[in-house]
C-alpha cells in the first residue's frame, strides 16, 4: 500500500473540482449559503478550505467534526461523505543540538450540516445573502437582451451554471455579487457554454 500523501491529496481534490466544471477559487458572489464555517466555533474556513467547501454550493454553510456532532446530540446520516480540512502545524525537530520547528500540513474531516440529523434547530443560525446596490451596465444588458438564441436565464439560483438538457442558464441574483462587473462576466461565461454546445453538439 502506498504511503498517504496529503499534498498530493489536496492537489487531487482541486483537480477533481476543476474536472467537475467548478473553479473553486472563483466564486464572486455570496448567496444565503454564506461563507463555509464551523457550526460550533462559528469561525470561517480559510485558504484552500474556504474555496473547496464553497465550490459545492451548499445551501447552508455549516460543517462539524464527528465529535462535534456527537457532542451536540446528533448523528451522521447513513451513507454521508466527509470533507477534508487541511491546516498547518508546527512540528519540532532536533538539529545540531538545537530544537527547531517546521510547518507540516495536517488534516481532519468534517461533515456538512445537511448530512447530520438530531441537532436542535435552534443551534443552527439562519443566513442571509450578500446584498449590494446593483447598478445595471447598459451595454451589458443590451448584449444579454439581443443575444441570438439565448437560453432561458433563471436568476436567484444558488449557483451559476448552464444546464444543456434544459437549455437554461442558472444565476445567483445580481445583488449577491460583490461587484456589478462580476455578475456580467459570470453570466456571459455561462451563455458561452450554450454557444459552445450549439457549435459542438454531443
In a shared domain, residues 50 and 148: no
In a shared domain, residues 108 and 160: no
In a shared domain, residues 63 and 121: yes
Final residue in a domain of this structure, among 98, 129, 160 = 129
Structural domain harbouring 95? 1-129
In a shared domain, residues 26 and 85: yes
pLDDT at residue 27 in the model: 62
In a shared domain, residues 118 and 134: no
- Treating both helix axes as pointing N-terminal to C-terminal, what angle do 47-54 and 6-19 enclose, rounded to 10 degrees? 30
Kindly report the average pLDDT of the chain as a whole number: 83
In a shared domain, residues 137 and 108: no
Query: Residue 69 is placed in which grid cell?
Result: 456532532
Using the predicted structure, report yes or no on whether residue 199 has a pLDDT greater than 60: no
Query: Residue 184 is placed in which grid cell?
Result: 456580467
Final residue in a domain of this structure, among 129, 154, 171 = 129
58 contacts 112 by C-beta, under 8 angstroms: yes
Number of domains in the chain: 2
In a shared domain, residues 121 and 135: no
**Residue 127 pLDDT class (50, 70, 90 cuts):** low
In a shared domain, residues 108 and 193: no
Burial 104-120 (b: 16+ CB within 10 A, else e): eeeeeebbbbebbeebe
Using the predicted structure, report yes or no on whether residue 125 has a pLDDT greater than 90: no
pLDDT in tens, 69-98: 999 999 999 999 999 999 888 888 888 888
In a shared domain, residues 124 and 193: no
In a shared domain, residues 138 and 110: no
Final residue in a domain of this structure, among 80, 99, 129 = 129
Q: List, in order, residues 6 or more apart from 160 with CB less than 8 Å away.
A: 29, 169, 170, 171, 172, 186, 187, 189, 190
In a shared domain, residues 68 and 143: no
**Residue 30 pLDDT class (50, 70, 90 cuts):** low
In a shared domain, residues 135 and 107: no
Amino acid at each position: 500500500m502506498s504511503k498517504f500523501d496529503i499534498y498530493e491529496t489536496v492537489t487531487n481534490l482541486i483537480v477533481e473540482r476543476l474536472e467537475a466544471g467548478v473553479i473553486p477559487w472563483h466564486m464572486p458572489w455570496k448567496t444565503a449559503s454564506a461563507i463555509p464555517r464551523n457550526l460550533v466555533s462559528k469561525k470561517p474556513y480559510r485558504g484552500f478550505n474556504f474555496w473547496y467547501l464553497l465550490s459545492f454550493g451548499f445551501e447552508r454553510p455549516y460543517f462539524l467534526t464527528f465529535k462535534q456532532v456527537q457532542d451536540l446530540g446528533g448523528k451522521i446520516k447513513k451513507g454521508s461523505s466527509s470533507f477534508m480540512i487541511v491546516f498547518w502545524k508546527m512540528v519540532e525537530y532536533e538539529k545540531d543540538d538545537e530544537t527547531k520547528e517546521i510547518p507540516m500540513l495536517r488534516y481532519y474531516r468534517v461533515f456538512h450540516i445537511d448530512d447530520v440529523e438530531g441537532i436542535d434547530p435552534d443551534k443552527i443560525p439562519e443566513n442571509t445573502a450578500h446584498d449590494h446596490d446593483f447598478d445595471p451596465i447598459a451595454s451589458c444588458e443590451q448584449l444579454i437582451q439581443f443575444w441570438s438564441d439565448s437560453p432561458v436565464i433563471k436568476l436567484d439560483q444558488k449557483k451559476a451554471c448552464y444546464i444543456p438538457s434544459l437549455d437554461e442558464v442558472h444565476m445567483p441574483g445580481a445583488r449577491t455579487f460583490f461587484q456589478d462587473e462580476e455578475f456580467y462576466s459570470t453570466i456571459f461565461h455561462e451563455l458561452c457554454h450554450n454557444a459552445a454546445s450549439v457549435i459542438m453538439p454531443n
